[in-house]
Amino acid sequence: MESGRRLGWSSCIATTLVAVGCGAGHMAVPADIAASSDVLAVSGRSGWSGSLADESYRLGAYRVEDVDRKWNSTSGWSVARFSQAKTTGGYRYRFVDGESTYVGKCATVTRDSNAELGSGLRIGVTSATLGCSCEGDGGTLATAALEGRGNALSGELATAEGKYVITALFELDGGLRQSQPVGYRVDAQGEPVGAVEVLSPGRAWLSRELPDPERAQASCLFAGLLLYHPDH
């Protein structure tokens, strides 16, 4: 991880303590998500990120605190395939829901390979895996495991009550489309569960039908996605 960087996935300028930001706009919110969900606004979030920055912020009524980008994910932590994989980056944070506190942990694995284009031509392809967990007094309560080429990740989000599908979103307001994800949506058998916009400062949506314990667990994982920095 860098010593610091400005939030936003399209970087313009990079320095030791980085200030970037290209005015990417906002994620186009899928109509079914907007119609069935409550919005969790992000507030108090600094434009700086990294080991020298205070990355605390609020996600609706929740608080995200003590972000640690030097966390070593190899110390007995595992999510899905991470139990046998060597991670290339990790971060940790506290997620506070009133009087309850979760510990969020995320780590990545990147792999380089070659894709055959025909006629002996090959192109380098980078695949990535992102894993996040949220832990409480009773152990691990929720996990997310995503995989994909480049930064287009998809996978599964699991809470104590159920498992859901995560897919990447690329469209901005106005119909523009980004090459990297601007957010992710979560669905259960075709029914919307929620979404998170990862463009700074970020937003999240949760289905009004989702029970309170699952709302907190899903929001804790959304906080991990908001803190994720894909490799360029």
95-126 burial, b at 16+ Cβ within 10 Å, e below that, comes to bbbeeeebebbbbbbeeeeeeeeeeeeeeeee
Q: What is the pLDDT of residue 82?
A: 67
* Element housing 206 (H / E): strand 203-207
pLDDT mean values, one per 10 residues, the chain (232 residues):
44 29 76 98 89 91 95 72 70 95 89 51 57 91 84 84 94 91 94 96 96 95 92 48
CA distance 139 to 107: 18
Check residue 75 and give its pLDDT. Answer: 63
**100/19 Cα distance (integer angstroms):** 34
Cβ-based burial of 27 (10 A; exposed 0-12, middle 13-18, buried ≥19): buried
pTM of the model: 0.82
Phi, psi torsion values for 55, nearest 5 degrees = -100, 20
Contacting residues for 138 by C-beta, under 8 A, at least 6 apart: none
The pLDDT assigned to 115 comes to 46
Q: What letter represents residue 169's amino acid?
A: L
What per-residue confidence (pLDDT) applies to 25?
87
User: Which of 188, 223, 213 shows the shortest CA–CA distance to 36?
Assistant: 188
Domain ranges of the chain: 25-226
